[in-house]
Amino acid sequence: MLKHSKSKHSKKIHSSIDSPRKRLFLFILGGWLLLILSNQVGEFSLYQGAFVATYAVGIASIILLTGYSGQLSLGHGALMAVGAYAGALTINSLQWHPVVALIMATLVAGLFGLLLGGAVARFSGPYLAGTTLALAIALPSLANQFPILGGEQGLAFDVGASPARFGDDFSPYKWFFWIATLAALIIIWFVANIAASRFGRTFRAMRDNPIAAQLCGVNVARQKVTAFAISSGVAGLSGGLLVMLITGVSPSVFPLSLSLLLLSGAVVTGLYNLKGVILGGLVLVAIPEIAESLVTRIGGSENVANSLPGFLVSALLILAVMFTPNGPEHIFKRKH
């Protein structure tokens, strides 16, 4: 009886924590804390923080696709590139506001994912992974075929000077940080609500047992396309934020290694948990800094400096798969 009462109480608490009102409050609180933080750290830290937020959005897109709907993509960098080019064209050709460009990056990448998903997201396992991998490999060659995309030189992605109403002390790096973190908070809140909704429950049912889900009336093919389209839109926003930070987009910005890097970050975060995406973004930003520090201390050639970040990511990925396959949070859950 006591055990049953305790179980009901635990479910009640869990339900309260996962309520939409609670999530909204936590994200508003997170935004307020980040606003305070932006006034306490240096410009380089703000710039790094913007990259953390950008990678967190990319990792969230993979968690939604792979962790929740069970579809594996090895070429998410290509979807990021679609969004990045869409945003750059919005600024350069249409002369629209940079915020509108980021929205267009999300919408165009989502539409591209919907069309691509209609063709390949019905597949599963190695077929979908292979298709997205081929897309990521072919992307640089495809982009170079269209002069409107700028060829090897690419296109500029300039969000302009920071608003004058914020004062002279409001630097461009702080402006980047505000845009990236606000976008990350909004999109992670959006994905978290999808995961907690009927769509999220359907995605998980489809992931765990597609045959049983289909027998229960779920159109598995349609749900796969839906999940792929939403994930593509989120990835497109991440691509738009990335090229905003480096003020330009070109094929070299989205190599295959970027797709694998984000997938590694998602595994380290925990494929079934959105709560650690900031940690995943932090890891991806910190690894190059750690690698540079190690090369400086122990010495090494340029080849060592270039390959060490990849080695560290690979080692971290192996350790995560071995010891924390469901994310760091599950370690604390097991202890309690």
List, for residues 79-93, the tens digit of each pLDDT value: 999 999 999 999 998
pLDDT of residue 20: 73
Domain boundaries, the chain: 49-258
Cα 300 to Cα 277: distance, rounded to the nearest angstrom: 32
pLDDT of residue 179: 92
pLDDT of residue 57: 96
Cα 283 to Cα 23: distance, rounded to the nearest angstrom: 24
* DSSP SS3 for 156: strand
pLDDT of residue 29: 80
Closest by CA position to 51, among listed 246, 235, 191: 246
Cα 103 to Cα 217: distance, rounded to the nearest angstrom: 34
Cα 222 to Cα 329: distance, rounded to the nearest angstrom: 32
pLDDT of residue 333: 55
- 8 A C-beta contact, residue 176 and residue 241: no
H or E, element range at 155: strand 155-156
**Which residue ranges of the chain lie beneath pLDDT 70?**
1-18, 121-125, 299-302, 304-305, 324-336
H or E, element range at 248: strand 248-249
**Count of alpha carbons within 13 Å of 271, Cβ hemisphere only?**
19
pLDDT of residue 230: 95
* DSSP SS3 for 249: strand
Bridge partner list, 248: 156
Q: What is the end-to-end Cα distance of the chain in Å, rounded?
A: 21
